[in-house]
Amino acid sequence: MQSDTFMLYKLMILYILSRVNFPLTNAQLTAFILEKEYTNYFNIQRAISDLIDDAYITTKTIRNSTLYRITDHGNETLLFFDNTISSGIKEDIEAYLLENKYELQAEVSTQAEFYQVKKGEFAAHLSVIEREASIIDLTLLVPTLEEAESLCNNWKEKSSDVYAYLMSILL
């Protein structure tokens, strides 16, 4: 593969990440590029890996999902090479984000992970993030791994009900 073409894939990923104010998952990043058939899955993964290695993007793993954010170094590089991305590609990205922004954000704003505190005690850390701030951040201790997994599995669907309930009884 030509290095200019591969650099374009990296710049596209940086451009996508620069246009949202929340992290994106690997699946979210690859969906657009694959949908538009700009390249294949393996090239995207190699580009993402290179961007991480070069500190242009950062990662945070929550359960089975890795979240990606552009770094300041990535933003600087994107500004320098911005003219390399054609206006057609930028328009495609902007249209995709405009159409899918709320779904993309909802997918990553509800976070749940669990860990063992000590033998016979697990913590489920549950949160909802909006505009990089937690609107609810809750840690529950439970005696079994199964209960911690269950809390995390149900959080995405039930978080708004929990939030509404807490607000109603606390206010």
Q: Domain holding 34: CATH number?
A: 1.10.10.10
Q: In the prediction, which pLDDT does 63 show?
A: 67
Q: In the prediction, which pLDDT does 108 show?
A: 72
Give the separation between CA 155 and CA 63, rounded to whole angstroms. 13
Residues 132 and 146 in one domain: yes
What is the 8-class DSSP label of residue 84? G
Q: In the prediction, which pLDDT does 40 show?
A: 92
Q: In the prediction, which pLDDT does 76 show?
A: 95
Residue for token digits 């609810």? 136
Q: In the prediction, which pLDDT does 46 show?
A: 94
Residues 129 and 142 in one domain: yes
Beta bridge partners of 62: 65
Q: How many residues does the chain have?
A: 171
CA distances from 129 to 46, 67, 99, 106 (A): 29, 13, 21, 9
Domain that holds residue 30: 3-107
pLDDT above 80 for 105: no
Task: Tell me how many domains the chain contains.
Answer: 2
pLDDT band at 4 (very low <50, low <70, confident <90, very high): confident
pLDDT band at 157 (very low <50, low <70, confident <90, very high): confident
pLDDT band at 152 (very low <50, low <70, confident <90, very high): confident
Q: Last residue of a domain, which of 81, 107, 133?
A: 107
User: Which long-range CB contacts under 8 A does 26-32 form with residues at least 24 apart?
Assistant: 26/65, 26/66, 26/68, 28/104, 28/107, 28/108, 29/68, 32/92, 32/93, 32/96
pLDDT above 70 for 41: yes
Q: Last residue of a domain, which of 69, 88, 107?
A: 107
Give the separation between CA 69 and CA 79, rounded to whole angstroms. 16
Residues 101 and 130 in one domain: no
Q: In the prediction, which pLDDT does 74 show?
A: 95
Overall pTM surpassing 0.95 (yes/no) = no
| Exposure b/e, 129-152, CB count within 10 A at least 16 = b | beeeeeebebeeebeeeeebbebb
Q: What pLDDT digit, counting tens, does each position of 75-103 carry? A: 999 999 988 999 999 999 999 998 888 78
Q: In the prediction, which pLDDT does 129 show?
A: 80
Mean pLDDT over 101-129 rounds to 85
Closest CA to 85 of 171, 4, 170: 4
- Average pLDDT of the chain is 89
